[in-house]
Structure 1
Amino acid sequence: MSRTLRIASVNVNGIRAAYRKGMGEWLEGRGVDILAIQEVRASRDDLVKLLGDEWTVVNHEALAKGRAGVAIASKLPIVEHRHEFGPDDFDSSGRWIEADFDIDGTPLTVVSVYVNSGEVDTPRQEEKWRFLEAMTERLPQLAGDDARVLVTGDFNVGHTKLDIKNWKGNVKRAGFLPRERAYLDRFFGALGEEITGADETIGTGHGWIDVGRVAAGEVDGPYTWWSQRGKAFDNDTGWRIDYHMATPALAAGASGYTIDRAASYDTRWSDHAPVIVDYTI
């Protein structure tokens, strides 16, 4: 017997501020079963207080107070959760958390990820390379035969020219560097096939599905993040950097892909919009 779950992901840009601006009202009316959150910038106590008793919450805070932070909130029981990720000397705190579920006997794993934003020719970009490399190692471990796994969140990379309105002006900036995009080429490349990345390097496809691109087709956007500066939101000069990346077995049951773009600039409660998908398992 199948069951449909609604899974949403959003970078809240500070959950306390988001709740002051209306996140709670949005969540109350959206029928979400599992919520992956990034850039929480708050403690577990804050999360539990804001979300309420109906949610089970697991989180991982950054070492630096008030920065990063990821969480998964669920109306379903969480069987187990993990946040170990990457090399022992690598600080991935506040950027990766996995939660396991049992959906009527079928295992499901949901990951909330917040990839470093990076900055060209700085240590921040070096940390981003290390994080993307760690993802390269972890993804095959998660994606076993017929596994149902969703890696969702803020990847801080626009995959192709369709994913950034002003792509020509960003080819040398973090977020749209060919080397960054090549990682996504491999993540979304056909399993086991030789993939030529945006930076012309050769790698092997991991076989994950970009649920948003499959749903939208080969069109510009739809975008999930807009700068707070100028008229970026009003002009829809955005980036698609928030993804639902699913194993084929899970993606096969995906439907209703939606980006909850605010009606107007002044009604936004984050600079990102929630990305929502229904999964039949």
Structure 2
Amino acid sequence: MRVITFNTQGIEQAADNGFFDWMVQQDADVICLQDLRAKEYQLDDERYHPEGYYPYFFDAFEDGYSGVAIYSRHVPKAIMTGLGFELCDFHGRFIQADFDKVSVASLSIPSGLANEEAQAVKEEYMEHFLGHMKKTLRKRRDFIFCGTYSVAHKPIDLSNWYVNQSVSGFLQNERDWMEEILGDMGYVDTFREINKAERQFTWWPDYNRARSLNEGARLDYQIATANLRKMVKSVQVYRDQSFSEHAPVIIDYALDT
């Protein structure tokens, strides 16, 4: 099973930049998209409905804000939207598709870069999401949580990490939060199961040459339950084309949907 996660920063912009043309060539089983900035009714054009895929959307309440989607080659057994708290559900930040052997979710955690208020919102969201991850461990199935976590886990996941320790996305409490998920709780950073190299970034700031100089951060993950650790076959951050400030993360699992 091939799973792709990608933060579009606006699905219309990503489509204009050729994302869907690229997507249909990847032979992926599940594609998780975040930050659509459009509602489902605005996406009637055929380019948002590529042949061979079933799309599922969870809109943000506000126009032009957030929103997530899952594109699947197979009809899921069930679709779940939201996590039961306003910061998630009002802003359209979580959708999950249940298949026979695994559930795949598309999610986004808000950035705290704008100001202290934004950081406080982010931390409240992270606390709620941590509770969901704990509850998930009690379920008798495997999960892959795909999306933008807005946290660089370790120094190798951020350029110039030493001077960015007081910046949202690399604060000590944020890294501790990620470590609790990937350490104490036993979830797996599937990308790092295969690729241990430095500077494997998925996001680059919007300024000249950041991407070409590879000055960025790894903010986009596929985090899975422990049973899937040995199922990871190959991993890739796709950088050959630019569809947004983020790059698609492609991971192959020894699983069938």
Q: Please indicate, yes or no, whether the TM-score normalized by the shorter chain is above 0.5.
A: yes
Q: Given residue 119 of structure 2, which amino acid in structure 1 is its aligned partner? A: Q
Aligned ranges 1:103-142 → 2 under 5 Å: 106=101, 108-119=102-113, 122-142=116-136
What SS does the corresponding residue of 1:239 show, helix, strand or coil? coil
Partner of 2:242: 268
Identity level (%):
28
Give the Cα–Cα distance (whole angstroms) in 1 for the partners of residues 139 and 179 of structure 2: 21
The number of aligned residues is: 252
Distance 1:46 1:31, change over 3 A: farther
What SS does the corresponding residue of 1:252 show, helix, strand or coil? helix
Bigger Cα displacement from structure 2, 239-248 vs 142-151: 142-151
Long gaps (5+) in structure 1: 190-204
Residue 175 (str. 1) matches residue 153 (str. 2): no
Distance 1:23 1:122, change over 3 A: same
Partner of 2:233: 255
Give the Cα–Cα distance (whole angstroms) in 1 for the partners of residues 9 and 26 of structure 2: 19
Q: CA contact under 8 A between 1:86 and 1:131: conserved in structure 2?
A: no
Give the Cα–Cα distance (whole angstroms) in 2 for the partners of residues 187 and 143 of structure 1: 11
TM-score by structure 1 length? 0.84
Distance 1:228 1:121, change over 3 A: closer
Q: CA contact under 8 A between 1:115 and 1:131: conserved in structure 2?
A: yes
Q: CA contact under 8 A between 2:82 and 2:88: conserved in structure 1?
A: no
Q: Given residue 251 of structure 1, which amino acid in structure 2 is its aligned partner? A: R
Q: CA contact under 8 A between 2:2 and 2:253: conserved in structure 1?
A: yes
Give the Cα–Cα distance (whole angstroms) in 2 for the partners of residues 146 and 84 of structure 1: 20
Partner of 2:194: 215
Long gaps (5+) in structure 2: none
Q: Given residue 186 of structure 2, which amino acid in structure 1 is its aligned partner? A: G
Aligned ranges 1:203-242 → 2 under 5 Å: 205-217=184-196, 219-242=197-220
Partner of 2:68: 70
Quote the offset at 1:165 in angstroms. 1.0
Give the Cα–Cα distance (whole angstroms) in 1 for the partners of residues 138 and 231 of structure 2: 17
Residue 38 (str. 1) matches residue 12 (str. 2): no
Q: CA contact under 8 A between 2:88 and 2:94: conserved in structure 1?
A: no
Give the Cα–Cα distance (whole angstroms) in 2 for the partners of residues 41 and 101 of structure 1: 27
Give the Cα–Cα distance (whole angstroms) in 2 for the partners of residues 153 and 121 of structure 1: 22
Match of 2:8 among 12, 36, 40: 12
Give the Cα–Cα distance (whole angstroms) in 2 for the partners of residues 273 and 257 of structure 1: 13
Distance 1:137 1:96, change over 3 A: same
Bigger Cα displacement from structure 2, 73-82 vs 49-58: 49-58
Q: Given residue 126 of structure 2, which amino acid in structure 1 is its aligned partner? A: L
What SS does the corresponding residue of 2:234 show, helix, strand or coil? strand
Q: CA contact under 8 A between 2:88 and 2:125: conserved in structure 1?
A: no
Q: CA contact under 8 A between 1:14 and 1:39: conserved in structure 2?
A: yes
What SS does the corresponding residue of 1:207 show, helix, strand or coil? coil
Q: CA contact under 8 A between 1:60 and 1:94: conserved in structure 2?
A: yes
Quote the offset at 1:187 in angstroms. 0.3
TM-score by structure 2 length? 0.92
**Which protein is bigger by CA-based radius of gyration?**
1
Distance 1:48 1:254, change over 3 A: farther
Q: Given residue 158 of structure 1, which amino acid in structure 2 is its aligned partner? A: A
Partner of 1:79: 77
Q: Given residue 56 of structure 1, which amino acid in structure 2 is its aligned partner? A: Y
Quote the offset at 1:121 in angstroms. 5.7
Q: CA contact under 8 A between 2:24 and 2:50: conserved in structure 1?
A: no
Distance 1:98 1:48, change over 3 A: farther
Give the Cα–Cα distance (whole angstroms) in 1 for the partners of residues 80 and 139 of structure 2: 21
Q: Given residue 252 of structure 1, which amino acid in structure 2 is its aligned partner? A: K
Summarize deviations over 1:114-164 as a string: whole Å, max 9, x none: 100013762211111111111111112223466210001100100110100
Give the Cα–Cα distance (whole angstroms) in 2 for the partners of residues 237 and 7 of structure 1: 26
Partner of 1:200: none
Summarize deviations over 1:181-228 as a string: whole Å, max 9, x none: 111010000xxxxxxxxxxxxxxx1110011112112x3131111112
Partner of 1:149: 143
